Structures are given as C-alpha cells and as structure tokens.
Structure 1
Amino acid sequence: MPITFSPMANSKRDADELVRFLTTNRFPFHVRPEHSEESAREAVASGRFWSGESHGYWIDDDGARIGLVVLDDLDEDTPMFDLRLAEAFRGKGLGPKVLAALCTKVFEQFPEPVRFEGQTREDNIAMRKTFLRAGFLKEAHYRLGWPTAEGPRVASVAYAILRQDWESKDTTGFEWHDLPA
C-alpha cells in the first residue's frame, strides 16, 4: 500500500494522540528532542499542528501509523515541512518514500508552490541522505543556525525540490560557487 496522509483535526482525540506520540518518541535532531506531557500539550494548544498557517497530518504506511508531518506556508510559493517518524519506523528506508508521497500531495493539491523546502541539522546524516534520495537538492548551509538541547549550535541545512523537477523526475542544478572572491 502507498503512504497516506490523514489530516489532523482540532479535536480531543487527535490532541491526545499527538501528546502520546510526542511523549513516547524521542526526536534527537529537533530543537526539542523530547516532550513531557505538559510540553506536548502546550505544543498542541499553540496551534502548531492545525492553524491557518499549519496543517498537520498523520502518516500511515500499510495501515500502520508511522509518524506525522506538519506543512507550513501552503498558500505561499515555498511551503516547508516538519517530519517526525516514530522511533520504531526509523532506519527502515521509509524516508524517501514518505518524502515522495509528500511532494505528490503538495504539488497535486496546492497550486501556489513552485518549490518545496525542508531543513535539518548538519549532523542529521540520515535525513540529509533522505532528501537527496527523494530528489531534493541542497540549497543552503546556515552556519550555527540551529539551536540544540545539548548547548552548542550547529548548522541548519536547507534542501528543496522544484515543482518542475518533481514533474520531470529530473534535478535542475545550479552553480554553487558562481561568484569568485
């Protein structure tokens, strides 16, 4: 079965499921790697998972709930996403499959996006490889751009895919060092 996305609703049921998901999984490469019940409820109450700007979806694969994704800025030409797979489903090669399905969702359902972007920490090698395997291209490396729970900041690395590249299944490259010093 293909990856599917079920929209989250501003309901007690989804709020409770979100709290359970956030408190029973660690996310070591996110700004907040783990949640207490209180911090998870605060995140849910803040509108992070459903608001005018954010749309949360549960991710299912073959009937199993494997994670969640939040899409931001869908009314703009460059939406972004926050992806969190449950610990039990990491390292199984699902990342590129999820990103491919996510690109299909964004580019088929929303007319405005010309590109789709995600960011991760420089030390999240698995996610960086996932971006590349899914046809995304590295576009930025923000030095010391990501605060960490451990203390020292690390670089934030941005990847994007163009609508035209998604449609053609090709990658439009660019000259990274186009301006000599």
Structure 2
Amino acid sequence: MPIRFTPLDPTGADRDALITFMTSQTFPFHVRTNPTATQIADAIDDGAYADEDHASFWIDSDEDGRLGFFRLGWVQEAYYREGWPTDDGRLRASVAYSILRRDWRDGTVTPVVWDLPTQG
C-alpha cells in the first residue's frame, strides 16, 4: 500500500480535522489518553503542531484514506520518573523527545540513547 505525507495546516484548513482525529482516538501510551477538543485546540494555538520549530504531516493512502499524522525529527532528550500526570491523577514515567532547530536546518542526525544513564 503506497502512502504519502501531506503537510498538515493545524491553524488553518486542517484544524477541525486534527481536532476530530485527536479526540476520536485513544492513545494508551500518551500522558493524555483521551484528549478533549479544548485541550487539542489549546495545543494548536500554542504551536504544538506547527510553528517555526515544528512541522506535522498527515499520513494518507489512496486505498485507505487518512491513516494518521506525525511530527518529524525528534531525538530523545530526557527521562522522567513519575514526572508526568495522567488524567486519573497518577504519575507515570515518560521519555521526552525534541530536536534543535540547527539540527533540523543542517540535517544533523543525533543517535537515540537507548540505555538509561548510570550514576557515578
């Protein structure tokens, strides 16, 4: 099945579709497993899906239509032990990913560190 990546315009033409997609799915491995329309709209307005440092894309298929979306270029930056609150109030471990603007611009690839750092 061939797929294509279509630039997503979250603050314009794709805003409603993104909100609908994000609120009609369950994300069991995310901090917010069932985000609300208000939470997604606020995230869009805060630049979470597109700003000078972020770009998002739809994943589309001619056979199956819209499959999902993704953001490019993240590198593991941090481990959080019991640092992320969930909707039910419990704290969970999490991993943060990001990319430096210069790495994006220059095409620099930083390897992911899979092992937890050890204390000396």
Normalised-by-shorter TM-score class:
0.5 to 0.7
1:156 aligns with 2:88: no
Query: Relative to 1, partners in 2 of residues 1:39 and 1:63: Cα closer, same or farther, differing over 3 Å?
Result: same
User: CA-to-partner distance for each residue in 1:42-100, whole Å, 9 max, x for gaps?
Assistant: 222222111101101111244421111123xxxxxxx41xxxxxxxxxxxxxxxxxxxx
Q: Which amino acid aligns with 1:35?
A: P
Q: CA deviation at 1:2?
A: 3.1
Query: Relative to 1, partners in 2 of residues 1:177 and 1:52: Cα closer, same or farther, differing over 3 Å?
Result: closer
Q: Which residue of 2 aligns with 1:43?
A: 43
Give aligned-pair identity as a percent.
34
Query: Relative to 1, partners in 2 of residues 1:152 and 1:56: Cα closer, same or farther, differing over 3 Å?
Result: same
Q: Is the 8 A contact 1:148 1:154 kept in 2?
A: yes
Q: Is the 8 A contact 1:18 1:44 kept in 2?
A: no
Q: CA deviation at 1:10?
A: 4.8
Q: Which amino acid aligns with 1:148?
A: T
Q: Is the 8 A contact 1:6 1:57 kept in 2?
A: yes
Alignment of 1:103-122 (within 5 A): 117=75
Which shows bigger deviation, 45-54 or 5-14?
5-14
Gaps of 5+ in 2: 98-107
Of residues 82, 93, 117 in structure 2, which corresponds to 1:144? 82
RCO comparison, higher one (Cα < 8 Å, 6+)? 2
Which shows bigger deviation, 58-67 or 20-29?
58-67
Size of the alignment, in residue pairs?
Answer: 109
Gaps of 5+ in 1: 72-78, 81-116, 120-139, 166-172
| TM-score for both structures, normalised by structure 2 | 0.64
| TM-score for both structures, normalised by structure 1 | 0.46
Query: Relative to 1, partners in 2 of residues 1:53 and 1:66: Cα closer, same or farther, differing over 3 Å?
Result: same
Alignment of 1:54-65 (within 5 A): 54-61=54-61, 62-65=63-66
Bigger share in helix:
1
| Moved >3 Å (runs of 4+) | 162-165, 176-181
